[in-house]
Amino acid sequence: MSLSELVTPLKRQTLSADVYEQLKELLMTGRMMPGEQISLRGTATALGVSVMPVREAVHRLAAEQALELTPNRALRVPRMTVSQFREITAIRINLEGLATERAAALLDDAGVARIAELNTQFADEMGRAAPDGAKLIALNKALHFAVYEGARMPTLMKMIEALWLRIGPILNYDLRSGSRRVGDGVAAAHHARLVEALKQHDGAAAREALRGDIEAAADFIVSAGVLVTADADGGRG
């Protein structure tokens, strides 16, 4: 799918913040792949803006390590080494676990019901003969962030968002159509345990269900051989 089909043309012309938010969402929901190059002019055309706000937005994303500048001065979604991935996974388990445990204590019935509905949609899509990988990734992100928002810790949320900017494109490999984990419904089972723990306001159980979800996805991604080694990537990372 081309970038012009993924983004929404912008009406205001001030705009680096708007460009940033759209590209950020594409990265966090795994709609852009590791190694994918970003054309300033192509992105500007897709969004209906000049090149300048796009340049400002992508340089901001590069400063956040969500994009990188290649030796030939092209911008691309970074590839990730196994060690980088394992480090981010360990940090995610701790930060997202903290948010989940706190959310279990604070979420009201309406908040839990919203999360349960997202998981129903996720499980239904996963159960289709040919699941839509992009929809699965978007629903997965929506479910996780609905939980984390329940913690009511905005500083922690910003830290989690920064991690998902890095990890989002890698989730392509976990939830894309044809993945063994999609066929087996592994993530949906972890989500179901998470929802049940939230209903019981059991913070420890909710945190453990989240840990299981993150670790199972991470183990699959590492075993799939889609990450790079430091040697193969010129020693980066």
pLDDT in tens, 91-149: 999 999 999 999 999 999 999 999 999 999 999 999 998 888 888 988 999 999 999 99
Do 33 and 169 meet the contact criterion of CB atoms below 8 Å apart? yes
What's the CA gap between 213 and 88, in Å, rounded? 15
Task: Tell me the per-residue pLDDT of 34-61, one tens digit each, with 9 for 90 and over.
Answer: 999 999 999 999 988 889 999 999 999 9
What's the CA gap between 204 and 101, in Å, rounded? 6
Residues of the chain with CATH 1.20.120.530: 82-223
Q: How many CA atoms lie within 13 A of 83 on its CB side?
A: 8
Sign of torsion, CA 213 217 135 49?
positive
Residue scoring higher pLDDT (186 or 122): 122
- In this structure, what is the dihedral angle of CA atoms 165, 171, 176, 180, given to the nearest 10 degrees? -170
pLDDT at 30: 84
CATH fold of 82-223, please? Answer: Four Helix Bundle (Hemerythrin (Met), subunit A) (1.20.120)
Note the maximum CA span of the chain.
54
Residues of the chain with CATH 1.10.10.10: 3-76
Report, at the CATH architecture level, how domain 3-76 is classified: Orthogonal Bundle (1.10)
Confidence of residue 6 (pLDDT cuts 50, 70, 90): confident
What's the CA gap between 126 and 183, in Å, rounded? 7
SS3 112: helix
pLDDT at 78: 93
Residue with structure tokens 């990730």? 80
pLDDT at 90: 98
pLDDT at 178: 61
pTM for the full predicted model: 0.86
